Amino acid sequence: MTLETLSINRAYGGAQGVYRHASAATGTEMTFSVFVPPHADGARLPVVWYLSGLTCTHANVTEKGEYRRLCAELGLIFVAPDTSPRGEGVPDDPDGAYDFGLGAGFYVDATEAPFATHYRMWRYVTEELPALVAAHFPADTARQSIMGHSMGGHGALTIGLTYPDRYKAVSAFSPIVAPGQVPWGHKALGGYLGADRALWRKHDAVALIEDGARLPALLVDQGDADQFLEAQLKPHLLAEACAGTVIDLTLRMQPGYDHSYYFISTFMADHLAWHARRLG
């Protein structure tokens, strides 16, 4: 598995790198970032996966997430993949909308033409990229966690609920908790997976919990001034789904915060500390 280094910079005693590789999952080149904290030779470090939201690439959290200082202190590798395949021949939303196609892969493996050829983000994030990171970085694959924002929060929740033994902690910032019940999800899941809504349920956190998926705990931060709160995010649906289960949900409504990286960066340290305690 060949890896091309696009950039590498010293930060907090560690190394912030950006890398590119040819992906078998998507059939395209894919770019991602990795922060490796300072560590002793031969040490294997826990890994935090961060999934970004609509319109984003790896660069948004890499440049604005403010995670490096605490990752260096806690000894956490931080990995940020892209949000969709890109490049020549990769189909986009036919109307050029931001919520489908490029930058909006929704962390599913598409089955509908013309997207099925390249939009295999579930396989990429859960199989191919973890194998690549394990081969090239000092990652302890027995200690992994996952987090994300908005569409990436949806991805983190659904992946974490699907693989509870792999991810020791799962958290999210302003996630799409029930894509089967909101316009963003109707468009994306319908466009990628087709009209049969039964097939959507494994990519819907609320539906997964309703169908029996369990995790020990979830941490979710949501701004109460988020412009997408009522129409697209609906965190109360997650609270209702977790009620009466073994899932210990911490849902924090943060007064005055919106959907932006000002919000994410404010609470990033809380999430990383929460992950570190569970990663050991």
Residue 270 is among the residues annotated as catalytic for this protein: no
Active-site choice (150, 171, 221, 275): 150
Residue 150 is among the residues annotated as catalytic for this protein: yes
Report the alpha-carbon distance of residue 97 to residue 55 in Å, rounded: 10
Nearest to 26 by CA among 93, 98, 87, 112: 87
Token look-up 């395209």 returns 28
φ, ψ at 277 (rounded to 5°): -65, -35
Q: Where are the alpha helices (DSSP H) in the chain?
A: 58-64, 68-74, 121-123, 129-136, 151-162, 183-193, 205-210, 235-242, 261-279
Structure tokens at 198: 């039964």
Report the alpha-carbon distance of residue 164 to residue 179 in Å, rounded: 20
Residue 259 is among the residues annotated as catalytic for this protein: yes
Report the alpha-carbon distance of residue 190 to residue 180 in Å, rounded: 9
Active-site choice (82, 203, 226, 275): 226
Q: Are strands 14-22 and 4-11 parallel, antiparallel or unpaired?
A: antiparallel
Q: Which residues of 189-207 are buried (b: 16+ CB within 10 A; e: fewer)?
A: bbbbbeeeeeebbbbbbbb
Tell me how crowded residue 260 is: count the other CB atoms within 10 A of its CB. 15
Q: Are strands 167-173 and 139-149 parallel, antiparallel or unpaired?
A: parallel
What positions carry a catalytic annotation?
150, 226, 259
